[in-house]
Chains A and B, each alone.
Chain A
Amino acid sequence: MDEPRSPIASRGELDTRTASAEGVSPSSESGARREKGKSLHTPLGLLAELTHRCPLGCPYCSNPVALDKRSDELDTATWRRVLREAAALGVLQVHLSGGEPAARRDLKEIVTGAREAGLYSNLITSAVGLTAPGLQALAEVGLDHVQISIQDSEEASADHIAGYKGAAARKRALAAEVVKLGLPLTINMVVHRANIGRIEAMVTLALSLGASRIEIAHVQYYGWALKNRAALMPTREQVEQAVRQVARLREQHHGRIVIDAVVPDYYARFPKPCVGGWGRRSLNVTPAGKVLPCHAAEVIPGLEFWNVREHSLADIWRSSPAFTAFRGTDWMQEPCRSCERREQDFGGCRCQAFLIAGDARAADPVCHLSPQHGLVEQLADARADEPYRYRSF
């Protein structure tokens, strides 16, 4: 996928940010069972990484540095089985992602499988490589929603960030097709130092494209994005200004467009409730079939992931060592263990704890209560105007 997955938001986490309407409350606490002292929840979302192949080269890509090869990708029948198993497990929404999901020739069959399983399907696309007839075919078999990433409001800058000339124009064209087909459109914008000053212009662009929802996601530093951290990192002043601006834009466009924002966590006081809690709300299936509690989880050494080729999704959810490792609160150390927010942010992100504090069981160092919080401040201060390292498949 060509944008970082907002670990709080989208894939996995089903909205807890929106104030609830009368009688309609964001779903989060359904179906919890206690099992061996760990609460076993019913998952809500499945992130299906159909392929790592992608035409774009975005420097902030949060996919792993080592990508799955095409020859290792799951076949159509296996994906369709996984989708049926996901629905049986209680999953309601599938996010079809990658890489660029349209790089798979069987995307239509996979969307059909999602619909037949009763799942709500969300296509997360770069818009490059998906044709208008291709999109129409997906709409006809029941695709529910499309999310298109944009890199900037200024076309030359957008194409520069994507590492693909003409990408911005293709995104505009595909967005028009989405709207023409009557499908709801989300525009996802990944924010970093090069475009953070143009959030308002990007929101204007999203409105003009006919989006009903905008996702403003500050870069999350995982996978490939880590290589570009110094080139992407905004300043604290820029971030503070952006946060105020988003609040103002949300107010200004209330009722016209939904604006969801993922807070830039290097500048946060508390960590994000990563994936809504480990093994609690979502699963992530890699192109080669490994099932991860979050999309960056492979970075943590010693975790044993099970593969859908060998296990049912229900078995994996319940019993695979990777899912049980950080489920619940028993694994926590101080300051998390006795923290009153432990069931609220779940100690933050395990990957970030490992990447920055060197211990996957530590508090996410983004938290101001973490003894390693100073390291995050140092990293946020390490900025360099250096060329992007683009990724290529």
Chain B
Amino acid sequence: MAEPSVQVPDTACPRLPRGVRLTHNEAHGGWVLLAPERVFKADAVTAEILKRCTGEASVAAIVDDLAKAFAGAPRERIEADVVKLLGSLADKKLLELK
């Protein structure tokens, strides 16, 4: 996989663009991300991150919130995971960073 070409500043407020939806589906056993002509399975952690991508919260605020929700996980580790996921999704046009 190519390196993400999109930078994820911690002040950016990520959100799912129109045409990309996170939904829970029993038949497919959990969270799925629906996008133009594509479907991705999202694991529980990914879903927790994406649920917070409302366009209101900054990346830093999302990381803080996750650190609170998952007490015990080091903040730096969470931040690295979040940045990696968001960069990769933005690369695929599955996420907007504004």
State how many residues of chain B have any CB contact under 8 Å with chain A: 38
Q: Which residue from chain B places its CB closest to the CB of A90 in the assembled complex?
A: B27
Q: Flag if A92 contacts B39 (CB, 8 Å).
A: yes
The B33-52 residues at the A interface (CB cut-off 8 A) are 33-34, 36-43, 45-46, 49
Q: Which residues of B contact A14 (CB under 8 A)?
A: 37-39
Q: Which residues of A contact B46 (CB under 8 A)?
A: 22-24
Q: Are A145 and B42 also in contact (CB < 8 A) when A42-B27, A90-B28, A212-B93 are?
A: no
State how many residues of chain A have any CB contact under 8 Å with chain B: 43
Q: Flag if B37 contacts A31 (CB, 8 Å).
A: no
Q: Flag if A15 contacts B38 (CB, 8 Å).
A: yes
The B2-46 residues at the A interface (CB cut-off 8 A) are 2, 4-6, 17-21, 23, 25, 27-29, 32-34, 36-43, 45-46
The A100-123 residues at the B interface (CB cut-off 8 A) are 118, 120, 122
The A128-169 residues at the B interface (CB cut-off 8 A) are 144-145, 147
Q: Flag if A184 contacts B18 (CB, 8 Å).
A: yes
Q: Which residues of A contact B4 (CB under 8 A)?
A: 255
Binary contact track A248-269/B, C-beta < 8 Å → 1, others 0:
0001001101101000000000
Binary contact track A1-26/B, C-beta < 8 Å → 1, others 0:
00000000111001100111111111
Number of A-B contacts (CB under 8 A): 122
Q: Which residue from chain B places its CB closest to the CB of A23 in the assembled complex?
A: B46
Q: Flag if B45 contacts A23 (CB, 8 Å).
A: yes
Q: Are A254 and B43 also in contact (CB < 8 A) when A22-B81, A90-B25, A184-B17 are?
A: no
Q: In whole angstroms, what is the CA distance A291 to B74 when docked?
A: 52
Q: Flag if B88 contacts A21 (CB, 8 Å).
A: yes
Q: In whole angstroms, what is the CA distance A147 to B35 when docked?
A: 13
Q: In whole angstroms, what is the CA distance A369 to B90 when docked?
A: 40
Q: Which residues of B contact A184 (CB under 8 A)?
A: 17-20, 36, 93
Residue numbers of B with Cβ under 8 A of A are 1-2, 4-6, 17-21, 23, 25, 27-29, 32-34, 36-43, 45-46, 49, 81, 84-85, 88-93
